[in-house]
Amino acid sequence: MLRCLITGGAGFIGSHLAEELIAQGEQVTVIDDLSSGCLQNLAVVGDHPRFRFVQGSILDRNVIAELLAEADEVYHLAAVVGVGQVAQSAIQTIKTNLHGTLVLLEELARVAPGRQVRLLLPSSSEVYGNNPRPQWEEDDCLVFGPTTSRRWSYGLAKALDEVLALAYWREKGLPVVTVRLFNVSGPRQTGQQGMVLPRLVEAALGGGPLIVHDDGRQVRCFVHVADVVPAMIALMRNRRAIGGVFNIGSDEPVTILELAQRVAAMVDPGLKIEFRQFAAEYGSNFEDCRRRVPDLGRLRQTIGFAPRHKLQDIIRDVIAWHRGQSSAQR
């Protein structure tokens, strides 16, 4: 039985990860400050004898050191996420995402030398910035916009996270695996942080209109959280993955306009779709990426990854979860 620590484990991805690790027979500790996650996400595992929840911050060095002393694996999911939050609070984004990772790495090096406590660092497709290539490979250049645009603070912080983690692998021997996540979605994801699919679903279930920014021709690839979690665990436990960087996503590109149309078709084909400029919501200097498609070759070669869920499955599951939430609140 492995002792697994999940930072930010009360969030969308972290809660699904906690469930899967418990199902595999592991012991799981979650630390979360509940700034964006919630205990309801952990309802399935909350009373399990092999589960423990600690309310606290990744920035609290003493608490982190205590938890790391009892861990065999660390999944570092604590982060400020979502376009809306990032655009409004660049300082908090950088402080939590970058400093939190530094605290974790420093304490791992101090508390667990020689124990080979493995760390999985979830990064983001945001690190590629505005790279013009039609499909992004892990060794491609990272192309960011100007520092005057707050939009890049998240991607820059995540890129520095990766640099730090890989430096600790090379210089301190800490076994680290980095994953770049591409538009993960599924049950428990809400639109509060600006995630596009749940926002469209929430708008549709509320009677519309569904808001699409700019011309809606931005291309994304959505992947189900139920495909992402097993991939993260498999990479964590694969020796060939240590010191590596891996894209995790799907190979089913879709425009945001088409996504909105598919959501509407599954809820109410009569719903209206409205177009809105990014500036109206995120400020005049907001920049968006036109195309974000991962190359999954390295992931397939390492763990044989193949997403089981199609986009239609993801949309259906997100709609079903939000409908269930609405019914529970009545």
Strands (E), 23-135: 27-32, 51-55, 73-76, 118-124
What is the CATH architecture of 3-185+222-249+291-307? 3-Layer(aba) Sandwich (3.40)
**pTM above the 0.75 mark?**
yes
pLDDT for position 286: 74
Q: Give residue-wise pLDDT tens across range 222-263.
A: 999 999 999 999 999 999 999 999 999 999 999 999 999 999
Task: Kindly indicate the confidence band of residue 193, based on its pLDDT and cuts at 50, 70 and 90.
Answer: confident
Dihedral sign (CA 187, 188, 192, 194): negative
Q: With pLDDT > 90 as the criterion, what percentage of the chain qualifies? A: 81
Q: Give residue-wise pLDDT tens across range 10-51.
A: 999 999 999 999 999 999 999 999 999 999 999 999 999 999
Give the span between the Cα atoms of 293 and 22, in whole angstroms: 32
- Among the listed residues 75, 154, 168, 282, the single catalytic one is 154
CA dihedral of 317, 321, 326, 328, whole degrees rounded to 10: 140
Domain boundaries, the chain: 3-185+222-249+291-307
Helix (H) or strand (E) holding 273: strand 273-276
Judged against a pLDDT cut of 80, whether residue 275 lies above it is answered with: yes
Active site residue 154: yes
